Amino acid sequence: MKHLSKTLQKKKKILLASVLKPIDDTRMFEKLGSSLAEAGNYEVYIIGFPSKKMPVEVDSIHFFPLSKFSRMSFPRLAAPFKILKLSFQVKPDVLIVNTHELLIVGILNRILFGTRIVYDIQENYWRNILHTNAFPWPLRWLLAVWVRLKEAVTSPLFQWNFLAEKGYEKELRFLSNRYTVLENKVRLPKGFKRTNNSAKIKLLFSGTLAESTGVFEGIHLAKTLYQKEPTIELKIVGYCALPHTLREIKKAIEGYPFITLIGGDELVPHDQLLDAMAESDFGLISYRLAKHIENSVPTKLYEYLGCHLPILLQDYPPWTEICEPYQAAVIVNYSKPDIDLILLQMKALKFYTKLPEDVTWETEEPKLLKAIAGLC
């Protein structure tokens, strides 16, 4: 027992903190947290939004779920203060934050305890705020400027940055060369297999449910395909942050029994998303093409490729070029879909003639471990 205690004391403490990401978030827990814990040199602590299914504590990973709150509420504003208090209790050697709301929390840890601080950049907030409808138009410029100013001013105080998108190298000029690109490639559980043997043609729309992610285009395509092919089914699995958008989704699928919604106003555990991928015939990627995604690769593109799930893919060259070597996709113009051609290709094409390469987390993990070792 004494030997075990001594070993734990030698491990460096790594704290990953988020306001809105769930405690079992795919990136924060399954990728960063698990990779660090498995390395054997680190004791990992994770603070995040409470999950529908609390993950089982494993060796070297400890969870601190926040209390539930709505996105626009006073408890949401107070969440960074609670995270600050928890971080003071843990006193990590390295603190990784993944939202601009926790930049000050990071800096205070550095000033008071000499903590090494890392900003895990999962969004270009400037573009997302300006080019999506998450906020009313009059507020967008004000919020975008405020967030970008906060990032630019605090950036020199952060020892390192992780970028979830390679395209952020072009977009985020304030980072200098202090970053590592850790793309959101898929980490599959051992033994994962697609298992669908149904006579139905099962379509899947997974992930964030929003106008900008193309959920309404996906619904429209499924309805149109169903008119000519009644074995079509659509499963929508994901979380919708905006109540009015969720109401519109429910209205759009009302009276269509071949379309089901899982999640909606609740976060969906990632293992449930993977189960849906295993049971599906095609995954839908139907983003509305806009400025904020021009240098981005959807996480679910890597997920579908890693699962060998054929894709009904928006006709956008940077994404189609990724899929082309593997014959992984039917290319779709979601604004003017050629239904007969789409159905013909869905039934006739042989998908995944070559297994995808460079789509799994295994390519990113060594870069993560190297960056953290350099900070510790």
Average confidence (pLDDT) over 116-127: 94
Average confidence (pLDDT) over 76-84: 90
pLDDT at 356 over 90: yes
pTM: predicted TM-score of the whole model, two decimal places? 0.91
pLDDT category at 33 given cuts 50, 70, 90 is very high
Please write the tens of the pLDDT for every residue from 221-272.
999 999 999 999 999 999 998 999 999 999 999 999 999 999 999 889 898 9
Mean pLDDT of the chain: 92
Nearest in space to 165 (alpha carbons), one of 108, 199, 121, 206: 121
The phi, psi pair for 297, rounded to 5°, reads: -120, 120
Looking at residue 57, the DSSP 8-state letter turns out to be P
Extract long-range pairs of 188-192: CB within 8 Å, 24+ residues apart: 188/274, 188/306, 188/307, 188/360, 189/271, 189/274, 192/274, 192/278, 192/307
Q: According to the model, what pLDDT value does residue 158 have? A: 96
Q: According to the model, what pLDDT value does residue 52 have? A: 75
Q: According to the model, what pLDDT value does residue 6 have? A: 44
Count Cβ neighbours within 10 Å for each residue of 161-174 and write b for 16 or more, e otherwise: bbbbbebbeebbee
pLDDT at 363 over 50: yes
Average confidence (pLDDT) over 352-376: 95
> Dihedral through CA 87, CA 88, CA 91, CA 96, nearest 10?
30
pLDDT category at 109 given cuts 50, 70, 90 is very high
Looking at residue 354, the DSSP 8-state letter turns out to be S
Please write the tens of the pLDDT for every residue from 152-194.
999 999 999 999 999 999 899 889 889 999 999 999 988 898 8
CB 247 within 8 A of CB 340: no
Residue that wins the pLDDT comparison between 16 and 174: 16
Average confidence (pLDDT) over 337-359: 95
